[in-house]
Amino acid sequence: MSTETGQSRGGRIRLVVSYDGADFHGFARQSGLRTVQGELEETLTNLLGVQIDVHGSGRTDKGVHARGQVVHFDLPYGPPADRLVHVLSGRLPSDIIPISAHNVDFGFHARFSVVRKTYRYHIFRGVHPDVFKYRFSWHVREPLNIESMRHAASYLVGEHDFTSFCAAAAPQEDKVRRIYELNVVESGEDTFLYCSGSGFLQYMVRIITGTLVDVGLGTIPADAIPDILASKSRVSAGRTAPAHGLCLWNVEYPVIYGGRVLDL
């Protein structure tokens, strides 16, 4: 509902944003460092003149991008949701792009209401680096055995303890997560890994990607994945893929909150 001035009476807003993470120290606010959450909160606070706290669907690490990061925040008043994207587009820095905004009820939480997340990792396999891709992909010159990578990926689908595939210092005590899909897709000189799951541990997708690349290079056997999982030891898995090839691709919610939030 709008007031006579054209402003809404407030409420909870679900906002979808894309961002180039190259120049951010991750999503979560950190004192003295440029972050996506910090930029969003500063912009909204300056717009409305009151402190606005932004909550994200999850944290992305330094250098990681997002195509469909979902956040929510509560407004005491402000532009109607259908105008908010236009208003924010003129105020946010050029490396954060608002995609859509909707009013939601107060039961919605950008993080705790998530039922499925999808990350995409981009591997560029051209002979020479590509100036138009280097910020968003990992350049791997050596030939990769894609079928071996797919075979290895099949072992990771399902519910497992992913201690071997997360940062040794990851704060979560429970390392059990469920991967719904892990697909390796070729497109010319590009290879994409799409990883969908209920949630992810710190560096989990990057370590899975690095391990699958090591399988593709022949340094780790595809059939070694079950033993790597069972070891519950980070040193058993492969390398950690660089952050700049990773993108938070899509976040999904129950139908009562609009079902799939972004499907470009």
pLDDT at position 9, please? 62
Got the DSSP string for 188-239?
Answer: TTEEEEEEEES---TTHHHHHHHHHHHHHHTSS-GGGHHHHHHHT-GGGS-P
Q: For 222-242, what is the mean pLDDT?
A: 97
CA distance 92 to 98: 8
108: pLDDT strictly greater than 60: yes
Residue 217 to residues 46, 59, 152, 248: CA-CA distances in angstroms? 50, 30, 12, 25
What confidence tier does 8 reach under pLDDT thresholds 50, 70, 90?
A: low
Of the candidates 52, 22, 48, 50, the residue with the CA atom closest to the CA atom of residue 37: 52
6: pLDDT strictly greater than 80: no
pTM: 0.91
Per the annotation, does 121 bind a ligand?
no
207: pLDDT strictly greater than 70: yes
CA distance 261 to 238: 33
CB distance 2 to 66 below 8 Å: no
62: pLDDT strictly greater than 50: yes
Hey, which residues are catalytic here? 61
Q: For 167-193, what is the mean pLDDT?
A: 92
pLDDT tens figures, 125-147? 999 999 999 999 999 999 999 99
pLDDT at position 257, please? 62
Q: Exposed, middle or buried: residue 143 (CB in 10 Å: 0-12, 13-18, 19+)?
A: exposed
pLDDT at position 259, please? 55
Tokens of 25: 């120290």
4: pLDDT strictly greater than 50: no
What confidence tier does 261 reach under pLDDT thresholds 50, 70, 90?
A: very low
pLDDT at position 170, please? 75
CA distance 2 to 221: 61
Q: For 60-77, what is the mean pLDDT?
A: 95
pLDDT at position 137, please? 98
What confidence tier does 82 reach under pLDDT thresholds 50, 70, 90?
A: confident
pLDDT more than 70, % of the chain: 93
pLDDT at position 7, please? 56
pLDDT at position 1, please? 37
260: pLDDT strictly greater than 80: no
What confidence tier does 79 reach under pLDDT thresholds 50, 70, 90?
A: confident
CB distance 98 to 92 below 8 Å: yes
163: pLDDT strictly greater than 70: yes
